[in-house]
Structure 1
Amino acid sequence: MIQVLRLPKWMMAGFTTLALVMAFLFTPFLHKAEASISWGQEVTTVAKLYIGTPFKWGGTTSKGFDASGYTKYVFKKSAAKITLPLSSKEQYKFGKSVLKKNLKEGDLVFFKTNGRDISFVGIYLGNNKFIAATSNGVSIQSLTLKYWNDRYVGAKRVLKE
């Protein structure tokens, strides 16, 4: 048989108050679990949702993208709500220039794939990787591949820091 210990209400209120006071006093000394996501992480998380979406010349929707249509779509759909120009050449005029060694997640990376001027854009993921709408559809690429390295022009930061 289980016996129950009954305490007077005033004593229960006192223990409860003491527990609350102790919790408030010692909370600053305990580690709080805080999760924060950067603008770059938010943009790249949205960008990855469209991996495998087919390439479509002039495409600006999730039914099919070209490179600049993809970056325009992702930045607008993400919590950043940034409206980029439509062409990669115009997107390159937007934002703040970033050195390759200082790239951050969510930066735009630009390339000359036509040999003349800026003609391709992707979104930097970190670790020398970027995501873009290539002729094979949206996929993750490496900046260290000779093809991309030879055609790299620069990067722009359009997100808040």
Structure 2
Amino acid sequence: MHFLPKSLLVALLTLSAPVFAADEAAPAEDAPGAVATLIDKGFGFLGIKYRLGGTGPEVGGFDCSGLVRKVFGDALGLNLPRTASEMARLGDKIGSKDLKPGDLVFFNTMRRTFSHVGIYVGDNKFLHSPSAGGVVRVETLDSTYWMKRFNGARRLVPDAQAAPYSPAIKAVEGSGGE
């Protein structure tokens, strides 16, 4: 499998910043950017069923990496690897205290590192497709379940594209772990 060099990834993300039409709902105080597009695209999949190996609604749902891959592909035109462990090799490593919306967050949910991935959306919350019987949802990193399993985070979207973004996520939070 071939991965994009970091310099090419940065160039692609820089060119991918969307231009909002006057009637689109971009927060007035926020400059439009790749992160806003990314998170908006991810929120569009809320409630879609989990499906092992799933890559989108058209095939019956998402698994965790299928969701992340679809969101980054649709929002930014990036072709990410298929598995969470492969995604964990990309971008810049960042600590949990340095998380910004759009960062990938990784967890050990199958007794191996980087076996689960989600997208950090701000306010200590992340978007993911959890497990069989679940749906794409937002959960808090503060829950005991996720805190115990957190493996690390990676930043793929450069800071220049990370315009402040504060989505209204209170009403869409999940209720717990897998």
TM-score > 0.5, shorter chain as reference: yes
What whole-Å deviation, never above 9, does each CA across 1:73-131 have from its counterpart, x for those lacking one?
000000x2121100000000011111111101000000000122221000000011000
Deviation at 1:35, TM superposition (A): 5.2
Q: Which residue of 1 aligns with 2:89?
A: 93
Give me the whole-angstrom Cα distance separating, in 1, the residues matched to 2:136 and 2:74: 16
Identity of paired residues, percent?
36
Q: Pick one of 108, 113, 127 that aligns with 2:123.
A: 127
Please list every run of 5 or more consecutive structure 1 residues that lacks an aligned counterpart in the other structure: 1-32
Question: TM-score under structure 2 normalisation?
Answer: 0.69
Q: Which residue of 1 aligns with 2:53?
A: 58
Q: Which residue of 2 aligns with 1:147?
A: 145
Deviation at 1:40, TM superposition (A): 1.6
Contact 2:53–2:66 (Cα < 8 Å) also in 1? yes
C-alpha root-mean-square deviation of aligned residues, in Å? 1.3
Contact 1:40–1:107 (Cα < 8 Å) also in 2? no
Contact 1:110–1:154 (Cα < 8 Å) also in 2? yes
Deviation at 1:134, TM superposition (A): 1.0
Give me the whole-angstrom Cα distance separating, in 1, the residues matched to 2:107 and 2:83: 12
Q: Does 1:117 align with 2:138?
A: no
Question: What's the secondary structure of 1:53's corresponding residue?
Answer: coil
Q: Which residue of 2 aligns with 1:72?
A: 69
Q: Which residue of 2 aligns with 1:103?
A: 99
Following TM superposition, the consecutive aligned residue runs of length 4 or more in structure 1 with deviations greater than 4 angstroms are none
Which of these two proteins has the greater Rg computed from alpha carbons? 1
What whole-Å deviation, never above 9, does each CA across 1:33-65 have from its counterpart, x for those lacking one?
775223222111100000000000000112300
Question: TM-score under structure 1 normalisation?
Answer: 0.76
Number of residue pairs the alignment of both structures matches: 128
Contact 1:85–1:91 (Cα < 8 Å) also in 2? yes
- Map 1:33-52; keep pairs closer than 5 Å: 36-52=31-47
Please list every run of 5 or more consecutive structure 2 residues that lacks an aligned counterpart in the other structure: 1-27, 160-178
